[in-house]
Structure 1
Amino acid sequence: MKRGLQLKLKQLLAIIIAWMVIGFIIAVYDHLILHTKTSLGPTADYSFAISVMRNVGGGLIGALIGGSLLVFYINVRYRDKPYGYTILIVSVTFVCIIALITLIMAAIIVPFQTGRPLYDPASKEAFYNFVTDSYPVKNGMVWSFIVVMTQLLLQMNSKYGPDTFWNIIKGKYNTPKTEERIFMFLDLNSSTTIAERLGDEAYHALLRDFFADITDPILENHGNIYQYVGDEVVVVWKFEDGKENLQCLRCFSEMKKYIAQKKDRYIQRYGVVPSFKAGIHCGRVVAGEIGVIKRDITYSGDVLNTTSRILGLCAKFREEVIVTSELLSELDSGNGFVIRNLGAIRLKGKEQEVLLVGVREAGAGESWS
């Protein structure tokens, strides 16, 4: 299963569980309100079990229909739109969904209450009373707020990234931690020339499309986007994830293939197909949460500076991808890539030389060397 789909299914599962729990809390809250001294008390046909069934069942149906709509359609189809715009779309959609849920719950609960089939006159009258009661209106107001908050959380998860957002919520990096990571610094070729030719607005649109298009290959190869810096993107892997099946190398190759599939669209819109280069390195970094007004998780350590310097050597050596021999020694050998030793290079700002290797995807009959 693709990782992008896995992340969406995890989001949907979280919505289902959360909304069912909220539905139960609403039923308990209503029960307590009905039994306060300021209340006239419940009606003769009130049942706590029915209330739980109605609210938890509504939460389940709403999550399956509305949650799926949020995760798989609205936040994909309208991901470039402002948050207020998505809220408007969600609000209109959920009015229809709440009405549908009310009808479904009425069809389920009314026969249970009356003990008669839905077509019986007594059930028909109870059905009408069920759907015209003010209770659905009250629930509609409550669930509208819940939906808005759910959409806000999904937008924040998208902004910070699936791992970063939840790590901030859990406070995992309140205390800095030392971790082993693999970093890829990726940069567009001839970006200055392209920007001058296209102009600022068109160039920004090109970057937006390019970053969007390389996201899926990054996720599918178990990488996470650490940050965007101008026309550069920094990708990070947990060490074992990036090492497994050469994911940190295959990621670059799959990004190239994906952009090649979109070349006609790029030529039509911008008159150019983006090409890019990358430097990849591994090492220990300190990961920690920083910021007061704007919180984020950052990595610090020599490995980032080294990777950035390696990226800058791609043009000099005419290589699309340069990695350190330190990283290469950690990867399992296999078919799919060929290497070219570039020698020991003294990087700017470093005293010790670093052994660098050019890596490219192998053609027919070529293998790791």
Structure 2
Amino acid sequence: MRRYLTPVIVLTLLGFVFGVLYRHFVDAADEQTLGYYLRSCIHGAALALSAWAVQLYFTSRRSAWVRRWPLAVELIIRSVAMAVVIAAVAITLEVILYGYGRGLGGEVELYWLIDGLPKIIAVSFVLSIIIGIAYELTRLIGIRLLFDVFLGRYRRPIREERVLLFLDLAGSTTLAERMGELRVQDLLTRFFYDIDQAIVAHGGEVHAYVGDEVIVTWPVTAKPQRAYVDCFFAIQDRIAALAGQYSKEFGLVPEFRAGIHAGPVVISECGDSRRQIAYFGDTVNVAARLQAHCKEAGRPLLVSGELFRLLPKGNDLVVDPLGPTRLRGRAAPIEIFALARPAHHA
């Protein structure tokens, strides 16, 4: 519920602003009183929140049927659905908020149905398309990264302290031979969708999907925190909760491994015809090698000494120091720890 609190507050405020502007620039001058402005604020907030509710539906698993269509068709379906919902909410609120002169629940005035309602539906339809396009951009790039791109933050290479989590599906090559590549891709698509909520809830940002691997990143903060490793455990819990669905649909429950490392990363925009934010540096290589070393070590989660030092002291993690280890393709050894939760959390 906490993840929805900020959008609700922001959309409510935006609805208030839209209601005030609509009342000021569209409605008659004799209706620009405090009472009418308050009603317009309520109207605007309700319309904004109902539009967001429609958007939430079309981004949930229940709307998987519409995502099988091309994006243009999906945007049109979303916009039509949003216009219908907004029309219903607008008419209902018109009766409740403005029916006082005709008795609560009185008939909606004809002039509003002919003049006001079509304007609201037209504006909502156009805005829903714009919002849909903006939402797809954030899904492709990420909202924080999109904001940084607009500000030109990475036009020139910048060095930042970052935590990188590399997580991949175990045995994907064998699965591809057994299930076929298309079926395994269905599994990966479902897996990446299901773990996204755990990543977002722990403040992570998906940097990239590479084959059967997802790369998640966090900025290093001054205050120690467990979000980096708790994200992995939350993914474990999420997949465990969906184990029955995976077994029924795919005949297996996904197994995965992860490596987490922290250190300086050089971040920069790359390319011309297709711009991309790329991460460079030894930190990226070490995180990838840690993830690959999980199979050899027989552990689902390995972290570097640099990452381990960022965790709060006195936590309830089960820590198994593996000592200085020379990872494949790297001459200098690094300190590695295998982390797990106590048995009562498993």
TM norm structure 2 = 0.84
Partner of 2:244: 264
- Partner residue in 2 for 1:105: 94
Per-residue CA shift, 1:177-202, capped at 9, x if unaligned? 32211111111111100111111221
Matches within 5 A, 1:232-251: 232-240=213-221, 243-244=224-225, 246-251=226-231
Amino acid at match of 2:49: L
Unaligned runs of 5+ in 1: 32-41, 112-116
Conserved in 2, the CA contact under 8 Å of 1:280 and 1:307?
yes
Q: Which moved more, 1:312-321 or 1:153-162?
A: 153-162
Tell me: CA distance 1:164–1:223, structure 2 relative to 1, closer, same or farther (3 Å): same
2:81 corresponds to 1:92: yes
Hey, what does 1:148 align to over in structure 2? 129
Identity %: 26
Give, in angstroms, the shift of residue 318 of structure 1: 1.4
- Contact 1:222-1:242 at 8 Å conserved across structures: no
SS in 2 for 1:134: helix
2:258 to 271, 274, 278: 278
Alpha-carbon contact 1:345-1:353 (below 8 Å) kept? yes
Following the alignment from structure 2 to structure 1, what is the Cα–Cα distance between the partners of residues 163 and 134? 28
The whole-number CA distance in structure 2 between the counterparts of 1:24 and 1:262 is: 46
The DSSP-based 3-state class of the residue aligned with 1:75 is coil
- TM-score scaled by length of structure 1: 0.79
| Per-residue deviation, 1:19 | 4.2
Structure 2: 5+ residue runs without aligned partners? none
CA 1:312 to 1:118, structure 2 compared with 1: closer, same or farther past 3 Å?
A: same
Give the partner amino acid of 2:80: S
Whether 2:341 is the aligned partner of 1:361: answer yes
**Number of the residue aligned with 1:38:** none
Partner of 1:16: 12
The residue type equivalent to 2:314 in the other structure is: G
Q: Distance in 1 between matches of 2:339 and 2:278?
A: 28
Amino acid at match of 1:194: L
Distance 1:61 1:274 in 2: 41
Q: Is the 8 A contact 1:343 1:357 kept in 2?
A: yes
Question: Is the deviation greater in 59-68 or in 298-307?
Answer: 59-68
How far has the Cα of 1:299 moved from its partner?
Answer: 2.5
Q: Is the 8 A contact 1:168 1:296 kept in 2?
A: no
Partner of 2:322: 342
Alignment of 1:188-203 (within 5 A): 188-203=169-184
Pairwise CA RMSD: 3.1
Are the counterparts in 2 of residues 103 and 131 from structure 1 also a CA contact under 8 Å?
A: no
Q: Which amino acid aligns with 1:259?
A: I
Displacement, 1:231? 0.3
Q: CA deviation at 1:110?
A: 5.8
| More deviation, 223-232/350-359 | 350-359
Deviation at 1:52, TM superposition (A): 5.8
CA contact 1:242–1:248 (8 Å) conserved in 2: no
Name the residue aligned to 1:136: 117
Distance 1:330 1:97, change over 3 A: closer
User: Which residue pairs with 1:323 in the alignment?
Assistant: 303
Deviation at 1:53, TM superposition (A): 6.2
Equivalenced residues, count: 339
Structure 2 Cα separation of the partners of residues 327 and 137 of structure 1: 57
1:168 is displaced (CA, Å) by: 3.0
